[in-house]
């Protein structure tokens, strides 16, 4: 799927259905996971994609063949399935989802008994079983059983409600618009919000694996319907989820769409007010805004590589309670250390209710940054050398090389220069207190990069 001896990408196993990811492949992956878990009990569930039930049945057959027992949870948001693993104390879960990818894709995500996805070391173990044909089938009298596991979504909703002030939220009679991407986001969040006393209007809430209205990636450019609906019905809040409902992007009462690191910074601010000196985990791609808030409210930022699995693993290692990503991933460790769209929604409402302020005001009070992006072509084989040279040239600046190179400047501007994992390009993300400065940074560092690339080509 991803080339020689590689099953897992940055987001688990992904591929185009019936081309890269066939039912045969799913059975074999089931066999492999079953062998890895050594006949444990695993939860299986899936997202709203047209291919998900087919692939789930294939994975279940593969797991049962190795003696693994399956608790079949059916269609559910990914974070609800992750929560179920902890709640039912199973050995792990196999989740059929391709998250925000286009409809022709699907994927297989495997989580450990704590609900967190595998580390790279565990992935390699699984890849070795898969590619070296080390699958162990059970004897005919030890084949695993499959039982239905009802109530996963009910338990998940109850768990989220424990972390917010239900009475205070209910008092405010909020009106919330939910854009569920025609996927599993419609199964938990609208119910959760109604149980919290909100009036709920839904759009794109019928399950349809062709994703007819918008792509399952909640980017500001495809959330216009949500923004317009919030305005039209005079709602207090709008929220859009990705295809498996672990990411959430918010719209304020004025119809303005906010990117994830802003809402993360708001959650961080209120979390640190109650829990000063806690660690906040976030990828190096997040805005300096997140650091500003930590500095002001006494928290400690732990920067990580880009990728939700790294954030979860780092939170677990450091026992950190809050993590976040600019793409709308919020990790609330007191609930679970994985991205959770419905949990994030409840937390935002909790802050609105406790402060009595509108979301536009709460977000407007945060420090402001202007963001500019750029890209430069670079042959894949040169990427590593380019990074080495660039790091060398920048060594006297305040830099981090956790993932690409990030430079922080005295005037609070910053730039991240990072090779793309999928395309022959370098990406640049600059932020600054003025638009001009952000643009200038992108231009300046694009030139620097280009010079290095050209010198290595000749
Ligand atoms: Mg997702």
pLDDT computed for residue 220 by the predictor:
87
Confidence label for 423 from pLDDT (cuts 50, 70 and 90): confident
Q: What residues pair up with 257 in beta bridges, in sequence order?
A: 251
| CA 241 – ligand 1 centroid, Å | 8
Catalytic residue numbers, as ranges: 99
Q: How far is the CA of 226 from the centre of ligand 1 (A)?
A: 19
Give 241-276 pLDDT, tens digit per residue: 999 999 999 999 999 999 999 999 999 999 999 999
Average pLDDT over residues 286-298: 96
What is the distance between the alpha carbons of residues 137 and 135, in angstroms, rounded to a whole number? 6
Whether residue 348 is predicted with pLDDT greater than 60 in this model: the reply is yes
Q: How confident is the model at residue 2 (pLDDT cuts 50, 70, 90)?
A: low
Where is average pLDDT lowest: 2-11, 227-236, 421-430?
2-11
Q: What's the confidence (pLDDT) of residue 11?
A: 72
User: For 179-188, 243-252, 418-427, which range has the lowest pLDDT when averaged over its residues?
Assistant: 418-427
pLDDT mean over 382-411: 94
> What mean pLDDT, rounded, does the chain reach?
95
| CB 75, CB 184: distance < 8 Å | yes
Q: Name the more confident of 299 and 39.
A: 299
Q: What is the 403 CA–ligand 1 centroid distance (Å)?
A: 21
All domains in the chain, ordered by first residue? 13-150 (3.40.120.10), 155-364 (3.40.120.10), 370-457 (3.30.310.50)
The reported pLDDT for the residue numbered 31 is 97
Residue 12: which pLDDT band, with cuts at 50, 70 and 90?
A: confident
Output the CA 218–ligand 1 centroid distance in Å.
Answer: 10
């Amino acid at each position: 799927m991803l080339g020689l001896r590689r099953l897992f990408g940055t987001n688990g196993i992904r591929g185009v259905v019936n081309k890269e990811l066939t039912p045969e492949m799913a059975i074999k992956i089931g066999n492999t996971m079953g062998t890895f878990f050594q006949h444990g009990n695993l939860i299986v569930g899936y997202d709203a994609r047209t291919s998900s039930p087919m692939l789930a049945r294939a994975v279940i057959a593969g797991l049962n063949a190795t003696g693994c027992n399956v608790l079949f949870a059916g269609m559910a948001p990914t974070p609800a399935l992750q929560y179920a693993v902890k709640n039912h104390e199973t050995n792990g879960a196999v989740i059929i989802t391709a998250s925000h990818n286009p409809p022709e894709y699907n994927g297989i995500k495997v989580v450990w008994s704590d609900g967190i996805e595998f580390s790279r070391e565990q992935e390699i173990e699984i890849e070795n079983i898969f590619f070296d044909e080390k699958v162990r089938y059970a004897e005919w009298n030890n084949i695993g059983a499959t039982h239905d596991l009802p109530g996963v979504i009910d338990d998940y909703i109850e768990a989220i409600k424990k972390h917010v002030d239900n009475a205070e939220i209910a008092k405010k009679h909020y009106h919330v618009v939910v854009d569920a991407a025609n996927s599993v986001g419609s199964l938990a969040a609208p119910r959760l919000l109604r149980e919290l006393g909100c009036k709920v209007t839904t759009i794109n809430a019928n399950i349809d694996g062709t994703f007819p209205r918008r792509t399952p990636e909640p980017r500001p450019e495809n959330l216009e319907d949500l923004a317009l609906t919030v305005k039209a019905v005079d709602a207090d809040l709008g929220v859009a989820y990705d295809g498996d409902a672990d990411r959430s992007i918010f719209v304020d009462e004025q119809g303005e769409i906010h990117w994830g690191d802003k809402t993360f910074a708001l959650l961080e601010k209120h979390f640190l007010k109650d829990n000063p000196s806690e660690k906040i985990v976030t990828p190096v791609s997040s805005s300096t805004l997140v650091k500003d808030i930590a500095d002001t409210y006494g928290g400690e930022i732990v920067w990580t590589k880009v990728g939700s699995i790294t954030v979860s693993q780092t939170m677990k290692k450091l026992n950190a309670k809050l993590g976040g990503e600019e793409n709308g991933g919020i990790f609330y460790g007191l609930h679970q250390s994985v991205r959770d769209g419905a949990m994030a929604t409840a937390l935002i409402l909790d802050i609105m209710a406790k402060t009595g302020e509108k979301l536009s005001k709460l977000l407007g009070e945060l420090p402001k940054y202007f963001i500019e992006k750029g890209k430069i072509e670079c042959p894949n084989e040169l990427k590593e050398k380019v990074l080495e040279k660039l790091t060398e040239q920048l060594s006297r600046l305040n830099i981090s090389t956790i993932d690409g190179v990030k430079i922080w400047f005295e005037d609070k501007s910053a730039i991240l220069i990072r090779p793309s994992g999928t395309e022959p390009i370098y990406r640049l993300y600059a932020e600054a207190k003025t638009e001009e400065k952000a643009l200038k940074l992108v231009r300046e560092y694009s030139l620097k990069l280009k010079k290095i690339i050209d010198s290595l080509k000749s």
